[in-house]
Structure 1
């Protein structure tokens, strides 16, 4: 009963302040204040205030809130343990699936041609060749740049 009285008084005070604000020709601010001041009255009339009061003084409700908090803590703890152990979470799995889809469309479509060019044979990258040998080889001074030169000539450079 007292909660409803307090809400009604707050609404009346807010509407009074809105009236004074409108008198000062600040109509948008007055409308905003009036809207805020009608919220407590609306909560009283819908019964939300009575429900909140009944919940606040109910031991059963507090036990329920405690159980909800415990469940939340358990979820958070499991999530933290998953992150530490390296188990992929939802975002990681989604990113892996998206990467697999991108690779499946055209795996070598964007790979640059660093091989022997149109001369034939299998195209392999120099970095892959050196990785297979176990060490990185320095670039040879007389390396064949004929395909690059052909591209530059084609564009008139």
Structure 2
């Protein structure tokens, strides 16, 4: 009952503000304000306000919200425990994350295996050779820039 009274008062105040705006020859603003002012009254007449007030002030509804929160917390806790167990098992093996396929690439394994050398491949050279590889990458870019006169 209180929620319906408040909504009716808000609608009446909004319509009063719209009337003042219309008196000042601001008809577009008056129409917009009147539209917003009629929304609470429409919600009261459709029964939405009564339903929402019954839900908000209902202890049964809040117990249901609490139970949903507890279920969500249990799901999160079990997931965290499961991940911790998997991390301990992989650390005990010393193998790190396992690939779904034996020949999976480093990005498929995740961040931990990026620096690891894949079976059948040689380690990356370091020092001046890797700098020469970077120069080869830039030579293509330099050729394109020279072609366009830049």
Give the greater-gyration-radius structure (CA): 1
Using the size of structure 2 for normalisation, the TM-score is 0.50
* Normalised TM-score (structure 1): 0.48
